[in-house]
Chains A and B, each alone.
Chain A
Amino acid sequence: MTYIISAPPHKKTSTYFRTLNLSKIIALIPICLVAIYFFGVPAVQIILASVLAAVLTELAIQKAFKHKVTIKDGHAVLVGLMLALLIPPEAPVWIPVFGGFFAIAFGKFVFGGVGSYIFSPVLVSWIFMRSAWSNHMTPLSIPNVGQLSDFMLENGAGLLIDVSPIALIGGLYLIYRKYIDWRIPLAFFATMILIPQTLLFLAGVFDLIQHGVLNPLMYLSQLFAFLSISPELPYAMVGILFFGIIFLATDTPTTPVTKTGRLIYGVLCGVLVFIYGYFGNYVDGTLYGIFLASCAASFIEMNTRPAPYGKDSLPEKVYKRIMEKIPEPLRFEVIK
C-alpha cells in the first residue's frame, strides 16, 4: 500500500487569502447598508458598478494573458467595494466603472498582481480620478463631528464612507481575530490623537511665554491641555479616517513586514495624514497621507530588520552603530 508523502508541516491553519478578503467584505457590509439608506439608489449604483467593473476587469485580464483566474479569492470584489465607498454619490455611473477598471488593471496587475503592488490599488485609482475629474470627485460637503450622534449617522457626509463611523466597528472584530494586524491601526490612531493634543499644549505654553509668565506652575498646568479636546479632533475623527486606519493603511503588500517597522509605518501614516488634514481637509488628507506613507514602507522595512537572537546585546548594537558613524582614523576599538 502506498501513502502520500510531502514536506512538513503536515497540518496548517485554515486561514486562506480568501478568508481574509471575505472577512473584510463582511465587515464593510454594514456601512454599505447605511450608505444606501442615506443616499438611496445612487449609492447602490456606485457600489454595484464599481464591484462589477473590478471583477470583470480581473477576469478579462487573466483570460487574456492566460493566467489562472482568481476572481474567487474575493480580492477584486474587495477592491471594487472599497473604491465605491470613496466616491461621492453624485458622480455619474461611468466614474465607478472606470475606477474599478483602473484599480485592477493599473493598480494591481501592472505591478504584478496580488502581493506585488506597492500602492493600494484603491488609492491608485482614487488619486487618478481625483486628479482627472475633480469636478465629479469632489464631495459636496466635508463632515465634522459636532455631537456624539454624528458617530452614528453623519449628516454632513460627502462620500459613501463618511455616513457612519460606528458602522466600521466590524474592523475591530477583525483585529481581534488577527485578520488585521493591530500594530498599524494602533500606532496610526494614537498619532492622530496625540499630535493635535500636543499642538494644543504647545500653543498654551507659547502663549504664556509671549505674556512673559515666569511661574513654572503655570507652565505645568498647561499639561491639562491633554485632557481637553483639541478643536482639530472633530474634523479628524470622521468615518474616512477610521476606514483608512483599519482597511487602507493595513493593505498588507504596502506595509513593512517587520514588527517595529509596522509601528513606525503607523506613526508615519498618522503624521502625514495630520499634515495633509491640518492644511487641507481630512477626507483627502487620509487618502493622500496613506498613499505617501506606502512610498516609505520598503525603506522602513530595510532599516528595521530584526537582529539575530544569539549575537549582539543592546549595548553592543548601540556601540557598533556609533562606531560605524565615526571615521576610520579616529576610531579606537576597546572591545573587539
Chain B
Amino acid sequence: MEIKTLDILPEKMVIPLKQHHGAVCEPLVKKGERVLIGQKIGDSREYFASAVHSSVCGEVIAVENFPHPGGNKVLSVVIKPEESDECVDLKPFKDLSSEELADMIKDSGIVEHHGAPTHTVLRPVGKQIDTVLINSTSSEWIGGKYKTPEEYAYQMIDALKLLMETAGASKGAIVLRTDDKDSIEAFEGIEVDNRKLLVAPLIGGRKIDYYFKEQESDIVVVSQKRIYGKNILNFFTYNVTGKRVGPGCNPTDVGVAVCGVKSAKALYDAAHEGKPYLDTVISLEGFSKDMDHIKVKIGTLFKDIIEGYGYSGEIGKIITNGVRTGVAQYTDQVPVTKGTTRITLQKPEEVMKEEFIDCIHCARCVDVCPVEVLPSRLAIMADMGKFDECRKLHIENCIECGDCSAVCPSKIHILQLIRYAKNSIGLAYGGISLGSSEKSNGSSTSGGE
C-alpha cells in the first residue's frame, strides 16, 4: 500500500487543545511566541487528558476558539508555520517502570483514535488489566512509516510488549482483519521469544484463550471479520476474548485494554525516539477513484489537504471518519486531529436527500444487526419518547454501526433515533454511560471508524 506525504506549507495550522475525551488542556504558549516541532503547547493536570504538541515550527498567531471536526468549537492554538525543521531535542526513554511509562504516554499526547487517552485505557484507576489487544481491524496498517512489512510486524510486537509492560498485563494479542492480506502476510511466521507465530483465525468458540494455550505463547496474532461502529469496544472484546462486558461498563472492567495501531506506533516512537504524537496517516475517499492514504501533520486544515491533493471538483459534503458513522462538516476550516482517520468527499449529486416513510417492518435492520437488537422497534420507541421501553429492548448494546439505517427501505433515520434515545437515557439516569455522550467520564467507549 502506497502512502503519500502531504508536502505543502499551509498558511496556518490549527492545533486544538482537546483532541481526546476529558478536560481541555491549558495553553502553554502565548500569541506571538515562536514554537518548535515537538514543543508542548498544551497540558492539563486532570487524569482524563493528554498533552498537545506543536507539529510545526512557526509563530503562534492566535489562541482562540476554532471549529473542531467533532462539530463544536474548541480552544485551539493557531500557528503560522515557517519553512524550517527546527525541533526540540528528543531523547529516547529507556528502561522505564510501569508508572513512568504511563506518565510518558500522557506527556507524549498519545490517545486512542476514538478519543480515550491511552494511559486511561492501560492503567484505569482501580482496575487490573490482564490482557492487551491491539485492534488493527478498522484502521489500515500505517505502512507509510515503515520500509518493509517485517519491520511493521516487529515494531508492532515491540509496541505490544511496551503496552503490556505499561498495563502490567501478562498477555497480549494483535487482532487483524481477515481480508487485510498485507497485514496477515507481514505477521505470518514472525518470531517472538524464539517461537514462530502463525496468524490464527477467530472462529466460533475459539477465542484468544484457546490460541494462548495452543501456541504456548503470551503473545498471539489473530484475525477476525471487520466490525465497525461508533461504540464497538465491548462487542470487540466479547468477540476476541469471549469476556462479556455488561451494559454501562467498558472493556477495562473485565481486565482488557484495547488499543489502536496508531497509538501503538506512537508509543513505539515515543519510547525509542522520544517523539510525541505529531503526525497521522489518514485515508482519503472520493478524491479520486481509489482510496488514497496520506500522512499529514496534526493540525493541517482540511482545506489545505483538499487543495494540496489537487482536488478541484464541486463538493457537496465533507465527512470525517467514514460515511457510516462519521460527522459531516459545515466548513472546510477544520483541522486534522489525533482522532481523524478518514476524510470523505461527496459530490453534490451523491448527497442523499430522501424523505423517510413509515416503517414497513421488513426486518432488514434485524437481519443485519451485529449485536442482535431490534433496531426498528428501538427507532419507533425512541421516536415516541418511550425510553424505558428502549432499555427493556437492550438499547445499551447498540454499537452504532449504522448498518440498520443504511439498509432501511423506508429510509428511516434509525441510527439518529437510537442515539437520541441513548443520550436521553444517559441524561435521565445521570451516571449511566451508554457510550455516545461526550461528557461521560472519559473512559467512554465511543470512537471513530
Contact = CB atoms under 8 A, between A and B. Distances in A.
Interface stretch (A140-148, A186-194, A203-211, A257-265): A257-265
B406 A13 contact: yes
B392 to A, nearest CB: 9
B376 A10 contact: no
A6 B344 CA distance: 14
Contacts of A42: none
A252 B405 contact: no
A289 B32 CA distance: 82
B330 A11 contact: no
A90 interface: no
A308 B247 contact: yes
A310 B326 contact: no
Contacts of B330: 2-3, 5
B363 A19 contact: no
Contacts, number: 150
A12 B376 contact: no
A158 B260 CA distance: 67
A115 to B, nearest CB: 4
B198 interface: no
Contacts of A1: 315, 332
B295 interface: no
Interface string B307-348: 000000001111100011111111110000000000010101
Given A257-B363, A257-B374, A3 B234 contact: no
A15 interface: yes
Contact of A257 (B351, B376, B409): B376
Interface string A68-80: 0010010000000
Contacts of A2: 330-331
B360 A115 contact: yes
A10 B317 contact: yes
Contacts of B247: 308, 310-311
Interface residues of A, number: 40
B372 A11 contact: no
A16 B409 contact: yes
Given A252-B363, A257-B361, A310-B244, A3 B406 contact: no
A181 B363 contact: yes
Interface in A1-58: 1-13, 15-17, 19-20
A77 B441 CA distance: 54
Given A3-B316, A3-B318, A114-B358, A8 B325 contact: yes
Contacts of B325: 8-9
Nearest to B397: A308
A306 interface: yes
B244 A311 contact: yes
Report whether over half of chain B's contact residues are helix, strand or loop; otherwise say mixed: loop
A65 interface: no
A252 B362 contact: yes
Contact of A8 (B316, B326, B377): B326
Interface in B367-381: 367, 371-374, 376-377
Interface in B173-209: none
Contacts of B244: 309-311
Report whether over half of chain A's contact residues are helix, strand or loop; otherwise say mixed: loop
A1 B245 CA distance: 45
Nearest to A313: B244
A6 B374 contact: no
Contacts of B61: none
A7 B416 contact: yes
Contacts of A10: 317, 319, 323-324, 326, 328, 344, 346, 351-352
B438 to A, nearest CB: 15
A221 interface: no
Contacts of B315: 1, 3
Given A252-B360, A252-B362, A306-B373, A9 B405 contact: yes
B58 interface: no
Contacts of B415: 7-9
A52 to B, nearest CB: 24
Interface centre among B360, B394, B415 (most CB of A within 10 A): B360
B376 A7 contact: no
A12 B331 contact: no
B3 interface: no
A149 interface: no
B316 A255 contact: no
A253 interface: yes
B352 A11 contact: yes
A63 interface: no
Given A9-B405, A10-B344, A311-B244, A259 B367 contact: yes
B413 A7 contact: yes
Interface in B218-251: 234-235, 238, 244-247
B349 to A, nearest CB: 12
Contact of A17 (B234, B246, B410): B410
B402 interface: yes
A8 to B, nearest CB: 5
A305 interface: yes
A258 B416 contact: no
B74 interface: no
A13 B352 CA distance: 11
Given A114-B360, A308-B397, A310-B397, A11 B409 contact: no
Interface in B64-78: none
Contacts of B364: 178
10 closest cross-chain pairs (CB), A and B:
A9-B402, A115-B358, A257-B363, A5-B328, A308-B394, A310-B244, A7-B416, A11-B323, A306-B372, A10-B323
Interface of B: 234-235, 238, 244-247, 315-319, 323-332, 344, 346, 348, 351-352, 354, 357-364, 366-367, 371-374, 376-377, 393-394, 396-397, 402, 405-411, 413, 415-416
Given A11-B323, A13-B406, 6 more contacts: A6-B317, A7-B413, A10-B326, A10-B352, A115-B358, A253-B361
9 contacts: A6-B328, A7-B415, A9-B402, A10-B324, A12-B352, A12-B407, A114-B358, A306-B374, A308-B397
